[in-house]
Amino acid sequence: MSSNVVDGSGAYVRHLYAAAEAAADRAEMHAIIGQQRDNWNHLLLSSINSMNLSAAVMAGVCAARPEQFLAFKVSAALLYAAAAAMMAAVNTVQPSQLAEEQRSAVRLFRQLERSVYTELAVGDPPEEDDVKEAIARVLALDRAYPLSLMPGMLDKFPKKVEPTTWWPRINRRREKQLETATGEAAGANGWSKELEEEMKGVLQVLRKKDEEQYITVGKLALGVSRALAVSGPVFAGLAAIGVALIGSPALGPWPGLVAAVGGALAAVTNAAEHGGQVGMLFELFRNLAGYYRQLEEAIEANLAERDAARRDNGELFETQMALRLGRSPTELKEFAAHVRTAKETSSSSLLSSSSPPPPRGEEEEGNGGGEEFAGKLF
């Protein structure tokens, strides 16, 4: 009987090592591809701007060199047309955003590899569920950060901005279970009623402030990225049309002006988008929102579990949560107490008919801890 248990445990250990090796291999692949895509961003930025500026100079000297009019005109038109096509292609794939995806994937795959080795070193003998979880985490990361460019690339201009999810979903009815489960498992496995209330307060602020903050700025970055991605090729295309019309007696000097100014605007737009790495910023904000969403789901999953033995150890979970939020466990307790006190104060003020309505700042404080966010790391 015991030998079967040992054999089974040994097989699970080998499976976990296989998952860790796969994670390490994925991290290496993403690191290589990320470097390549970062190089794309720098090289294409320089090349496209050089083409736009060279074409603008050629368009400007067309009138000054009548004997070379046709040569400059054709060369400028070709450069503008090529620059517009290249800008449209580059803006579709957003190399800086691709590079940020790969950097995030490298960090998360290495984190997964370390967590597997840590579990093998200090945890209980692995079981089948541990193997399934490790494999699910590898596959979830593959879906969140695909290696392929075409097809399978992440949408660079999504209609709806949502947090990136790189972890497997937990199939539990958390929302319905939170109220009934809270308190039933208190007093075991490091959990207490106070710790549960603390986690519920942190969860409330994470939902209403931390995650929402990065969704909001992510929408702003996406709007800027979309505007620049459209305007760059448009400017270059207008400049190409202007070059083609240079020399038309009916239009006078306007085609040359459109060609020169359009090329300059195309270069400025391209530099702002890819030199400023606006796509990378959007991906960064989306990943940060996902970071807080993962913390929310971890808290929900533990509070929804009625059996304390199946929860993460309460004291260890509190420490991990505090560190991931950039706080000490003591600071996290104080923050949760502040949120709870503010909420109770706001509720009592609203219920009191003789009291005037609370100021706007105090009302918001009761709905999420004032201006303070749960996370201090970002």
Q: What pLDDT is recorded for position 170?
A: 64
Other C-beta atoms closer than 10 Å to the C-beta of 21 total 12
Query: Could you give the angle at which helices 69-93 and 2-61 cross, rounded to 10 degrees?
Result: 160
How much is the pLDDT for 178? 47
Residues in the chain: 378
Per-residue model confidence (pLDDT) at position 366: 43
- Asked whether residue 174 is domain-assigned, the answer is yes
354, part of any domain: no
Distances (CA, A) of 43 to 266, 267, 304: 17, 14, 51
Residue 166 in any domain: the answer is yes
Distance CA 323, CA 63 (A): 66
Q: Which two tokens stand for residue 335?
A: 């923050």
Q: Is residue 347 part of a domain?
A: no
The half-sphere exposure of 299 on its side-chain side, counting CA atoms within 13 A, is 26
29 in a structural domain: yes
Instruction: Locate 361 and state its tokens.
Output: 């700042």
Number of domains in the chain: 1
Distance, CA of 371 to chain centre: 23
57-71, 156-170, 181-195, 344-358 — most confident range: 156-170
pLDDT on residue 349: 57
Token pair 């602020």 is found at 205
Q: Please report whether residue 203 resides in a domain.
A: yes
On the question of pLDDT at 378 being above 70, the answer is yes
Please provide the average confidence, as pLDDT, over all residues in the chain.
86
Element (H, E) at 90: helix 69-93
Instruction: Determine the structural domain holding residue 40 and report its residue range.
Output: 2-324
Could you tell me if 95 and 38 are in contact, meaning their C-beta atoms sit under 8 angstroms apart? yes
Cis peptide before 151 (omega within 30 of 0): yes
pLDDT tens per residue across span 229-270 = 999 999 999 999 999 988 888 888 888 899 999 999 999 999
pLDDT at residue 174, rounded to an integer = 44
> How far is the first Cα of the chain from the last one, in angstroms, to the nearest whole number?
51
Is residue 169 over pLDDT 80?
Answer: no
Within a domain: 376: no
Percentage of the chain modeled with pLDDT above 70: 85
**Which pTM does this prediction carry?**
0.84
Give the type of residue at 60: G
Residue 365 resides in a domain: no
Q: Is the pLDDT of residue 90 over 70?
A: yes
Residue 273 has pLDDT above 90, yes or no: yes
SS3 readout for 3-62: HHHHHHHHHHHHHHHHHHHHHHHHHHHHHHHHHHHHHHHHHHHHHHHHHHHHHHHHHHHC
Rounded (10°) angle between helices 211-244 and 2-61 = 30
Instruction: List CB contacts of 49: < 8 A, sequence separation 6 or more.
Output: 267, 270, 271
SS3 string, 286-339, reads HHHHHHHHHHHHHHHHHHHCCCHHHCCCHHHHHHHHHHHCCCCHHHHHHHHHHH
Nearest by Cα to 274 from 239, 237, 220, 225 = 225
C-alpha–C-alpha distance, residues 83 and 324, integer Å: 45
